[in-house]
């Protein structure tokens, strides 16, 4: 980002401005944008919430958040004071028209002061129960009318299932046009996720082999070491499938599997992604046990410390049947991917934090070397590491130095930090800036969200009708339930996450499967 790219005058309204998301993510991201000189001079943040806080209270609260979470570290007084001038607090009930009338007047006042028309961004950082309400009030107050100057931003969960997602999309569509609606999936703002497009479509090297002829299977892993933290109440009604698979993992799958885009236009890219979702083979409800595995963590150890099981977490029912681990086997019925399995897994309280995509290539068609030369032999593998390690690893075979012809797997590594020597912006920074620039490329369209729900509905229904009998079925600090191995076809493996930082000394052959 640079100063010449700055958006025009902007009023950034945050509903839920006194809440956790604003404190932890939105405040720090907007502050970081200001430090990058990416915000316009005519810029205001209006935080709206129910509690009494006042401008000073808001500034104090966000200052703390910035000090903890900004990528620039603790805010320097001059920089903070400069930023704080843009912060305003407005107390109001989200379900009272007067809140919106006052907001409209406040926006108009700022525009008058600036002598310029401003973009108005309405960000719903509230509990999901208000997602269906705020757009209606904005619509009734006439605050959504100016199509080119007004945007609304919504966070996941976008619905609880297909039906509620459709209903929510309909509420949004009643007041806003699709081009005004920005549905956030913060995974799409991650640098390494965006780099997948660059890697695939800016390099001719891999595209010719990016298909069923050369690729045996793909695994997508999003492993977390954390439990449900302070979000037990929300999570216990969601579970891993709704919380992670419906959005983040599906988006990663789309980026791996999509066809090349013709141009870097928001709808062109989103069309290509939605094509993937439409091509995924539906899972019939009776086939759910062969295609999906769920798990819930019990007590165990994380980072050497004892941790409670999921049912012992705050806000979680003591007999909860919510899954904290979900894995799926999917197939994409098109020319490129027919019969190539895509294995997806995500879980909480796993041994390592790692989001990675592994592309496992097929074995050579004929083994020309004598059997004893290739004891640790493995087909080539490409790993796209998203976090916390950020980079790309290509595993292939090399000859071990010496008189004998012996092979073993080696790796070529690209490490983001080593190459670019700078810290990537937080995903929210990228996404907020895109919203201000009205670039919807990294946001989910209504049809994408609904297509992803549609795919998962048989699994949700199947799991609901047959409650798990074995929960908790994995110990905190393990790689999930045993059953997850059963999803894999013969010879396929869940790979261990790679270690880019500091290099992994172990050859790929000894860090195979788990």
Interface residues toward ligand BG6, by CB under 6 A: 186, 224, 243
Q: Which of 60, 88, 248, 366 is catalytic?
A: 248
The encoded tokens of residue 27 equal 């405040």
| Helix (H), strand (E) at residue 315 | none
- Please name the residue ranges forming H helices in 349-420: 416-420
- Please name the residue ranges forming H helices in 24-96: 27-35, 54-69, 77-84
- Please name the residue ranges forming H helices in 128-190: 134-140, 162-175
Q: What minimum distance in Å lies between the beta carbon of 79 and ligand BG6? A: 26
Q: What minimum distance in Å lies between the beta carbon of 379 and ligand BG6? A: 29
Residue with smaller CB distance to ligand BG6, 224 or 483 = 224
Neighbouring-strand partners of residue 306: 301
Q: What minimum distance in Å lies between the beta carbon of 349 and ligand BG6? A: 11
By DSSP bridging, strand 354-361 and strand 342-347 are unpaired
Q: What minimum distance in Å lies between the beta carbon of 451 and ligand BG6? A: 19
Q: What minimum distance in Å lies between the beta carbon of 224 and ligand BG6? A: 5
Polymer length in residues for the chain: 514
Residue with smaller CB distance to ligand BG6, 200 or 231 = 231
Residue pair 187/320 in contact (Cβ under 8 Å)? The answer is no
Angle at which helix 77-84 crosses helix 54-69, to 10 degrees, equals 130
User: Can 366 be counted among the known catalytic residues?
Assistant: no
Residue with smaller CB distance to ligand BG6, 141 or 228 = 228
Residue with smaller CB distance to ligand BG6, 84 or 327 = 327
| Residue 387 CB neighbour total at 10 angstroms | 17
| Helix (H), strand (E) at residue 268 | helix 266-279
Sheet with 407-415, edge to edge strand ranges: 292-295, 325-330, 342-347, 215-223, 354-361, 381-387, 391-399, 407-415
| Residue 330 CB neighbour total at 10 angstroms | 23
**Residue number of the CB atom closest to ligand BG6:** 243
Q: How far apart are CA 194 and CA 212, in angstroms?
A: 23
Phi, psi of 335 (to 5 degrees): -60, -35
Residue with smaller CB distance to ligand BG6, 90 or 221 = 221
Residue with smaller CB distance to ligand BG6, 133 or 224 = 224
Residues marked active site are found at: 248
């Amino acid at each position: 980002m640079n100063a010449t790219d700055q958006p025009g005058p902007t009023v950034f309204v945050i509903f839920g401005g006194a809440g956790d998301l604003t404190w932890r993510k939105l405040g720090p991201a907007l502050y970081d944008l200001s430090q990058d000189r990416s915000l316009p001079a005519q810029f205001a943040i209006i935080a709206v919430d129910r509690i009494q806080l006042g401008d000073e209270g808001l500034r104090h609260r966000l200052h703390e958040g910035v000090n903890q979470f900004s990528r620039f570290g603790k805010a320097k007084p001059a920089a903070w004071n400069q930023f704080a001038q843009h912060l305003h607090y407005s107390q109001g009930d989200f379900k009272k028209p007067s809140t919106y009338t006052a907001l409209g007047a406040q926006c108009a006042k700022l525009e008058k002061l600036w002598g310029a028309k401003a973009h108005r961004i309405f960000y719903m950082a509230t509990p999901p129960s208000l997602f269906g309400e705020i757009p209606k009030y904005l619509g009734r107050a006439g605050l959504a009318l100016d199509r080119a100057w007004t945007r609304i931003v919504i966070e996941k969960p976008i619905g609880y299932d297909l039906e509620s997602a459709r209903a929510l999309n309909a509420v949004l569509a009643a007041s806003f046009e699709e081009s005004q609606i920005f549905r956030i999936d913060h995974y799409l703002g991650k640098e390494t996720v965006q780099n997948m497009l660059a890697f695939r479509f800016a390099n001719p090297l891999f595209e010719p082999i990016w298909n069923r002829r050369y690729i045996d299977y793909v695994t997508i892993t999003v492993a977390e070491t954390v439990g449900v933290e302070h979000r037990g109440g929300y999570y216990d009604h969601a579970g891993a499938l709704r919380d992670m698979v419906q959005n983040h993992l599906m988006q990663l799958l789309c980026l791996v599997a999509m066809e090349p885009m013709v141009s870097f236009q928001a709808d062109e890219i989103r069309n290509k992604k939605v094509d993937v979702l439409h091509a995924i083979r539906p899972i019939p409800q009776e086939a759910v046990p062969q295609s999906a595995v769920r798990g819930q963590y019990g007590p165990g150890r994380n980072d050497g410390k004892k941790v409670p099981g999921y049912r012992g977490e705050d806000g979680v029912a003591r007999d909860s049947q919510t899954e904290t681990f979900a894995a799926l086997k999917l197939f994409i019925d098109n020319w490129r991917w027919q019969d190539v399995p895509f294995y997806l897994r995500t879980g909480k309280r796993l041994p390592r934090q790692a989001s990675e995509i592994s592309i496992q290539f097929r074995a050579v068609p004929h083994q020309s070397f004598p059997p004893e030369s290739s004891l640790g032999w493995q087909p080539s593998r490409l790993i796209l590491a998203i976090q916390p390690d950020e980079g790309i690893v290509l595993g292939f075979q090399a000859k071990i130095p010496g008189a004998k012809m012996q092979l073993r797997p080696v790796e070529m590594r690209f490490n983001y930090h080593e190459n670019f020597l700078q810290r990537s912006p937080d995903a929210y920074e990228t996404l907020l800036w895109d919203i201000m620039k009205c670039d919807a490329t990294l946001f989910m369209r209504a049809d994408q969200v609904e297509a992803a729900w549609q795919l998962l509905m048989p699994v949700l229904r199947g799991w609901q009708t047959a409650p798990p009998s074995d929960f908790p079925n994995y110990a905190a600090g393990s790689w999930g339930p045993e059953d997850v191995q059963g999803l894999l076809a013969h010879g396929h493996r869940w790979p261990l996450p790679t270690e880019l930082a500091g290099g992994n000394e172990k050859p790929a052959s000894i860090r195979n499967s788990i």
